[in-house]
Structure 1
Amino acid sequence: MLHNAAQAYQNNQVTTATPGELTLMLYNGAIRFIKQAKAAIGQQNVEQAHQHCLRVQEILYELMSTLNRDYPITEEFLKMYDYMLRRMIEANVNKDVSILSEVEELFVQFRDTWKEAMALAKQQG
């Protein structure tokens, strides 16, 4: 019952979130899955590490597919997401924690910048 309540809460968060909040959730999810992949590699659980890496790759595909192509900066985001995706695939194939750490740091920078932008937009009304 507790699991169902938690899942209902999470579903409600997603369905009521703004596009900006959804992007923030994706960044946070990717960071969480990278941490889990690193832990799984440390425990030599190859299958679990693979599954966590796949989740990060799916998040990157989602981020890429939802970009608004009307803005010139979109091309830069696409390049970064594509780079991160290629690095995630490499990390998954080789179970390389250092590559995971590199991609994690990029996600942290994106997340922190996104949070700042959301706060500035809120202040400006």
Structure 2
Amino acid sequence: MMHKAINHYQQVGAASASFASPHRLIEMLLDGGIDRLAQARGAVQRGDRPTKLKLIGKAFDIIGGLRGGLDLEKGGEVARNLDELYDYMQRRLVSANARDDVEVIDEVTLLLGEIRDAWKAIPQEARDNPAAVAAKES
């Protein structure tokens, strides 16, 4: 699954992804999605349809990479909730693309930003050894 996420990120121009920790890779994907959406917003405002299509497509793929990296069995309710949220964001991007709707792009950007902020708030101990932290909590 992680290789799939690396491939998605490399497709949007981050060759350093192959050297990143799994935690950092997710952070990079979230940042990349937010960046592409900001660029797509600008393209919509400029009326640059080809660029908008390309950038919304890249954001869609990044969210797909995040979604594909979820372990729905081990991740339990959190993973299922993220899966549903990522699905919602992808559907909203289809709508934003069809209607040139910057408000929808802003909504998805906000959601990705909230996930990114929560991801960055994970303590270093949990980043370094998630299995040990999970064992302590059970």
TM-score, normalising length from structure 2? 0.77
User: Distance in 2 between the 1:107 and 1:61 partners?
Assistant: 13
- Using the TM superposition, name which of 107-116 and 62-71 deviates more: 62-71
Name the structure 2 match of 1:64.
67
TM-score, normalising length from structure 1? 0.85
Aligned length: 115
Name the structure 2 match of 1:85.
90
Q: Which runs of 5+ in 1 are unaligned?
A: 1-9
Q: Which runs of 5+ in 2 are unaligned?
A: 1-13, 134-138
Percentage identity across aligned positions?
A: 27
- Using the TM superposition, name which of 22-31 and 60-69 deviates more: 60-69
1:75 aligns with 2:80: yes
Q: CA deviation at 1:120?
A: 5.7
- Using the TM superposition, name which of 70-79 and 97-106 deviates more: 70-79
User: Distance in 2 between the 1:24 and 1:118 partners?
Assistant: 14
Q: How does 1:10-89 map to 2 (within 5 A)?
A: 10-11=14-15, 13-69=16-72, 70-72=74-76, 73-89=78-94
Q: Output one character per residue of 1:26-47: Cα deviation in whole Å (capped at 9) or x when no partner.
A: 0000000000001011111011
Structure 1 stretches of 4+ with a deviation exceeding 6 A read: none
Distance 1:67 1:123, change over 3 A: closer
Give RMSD over aligned pairs. Answer: 1.8
User: Distance in 2 between the 1:85 and 1:52 partners?
Assistant: 13
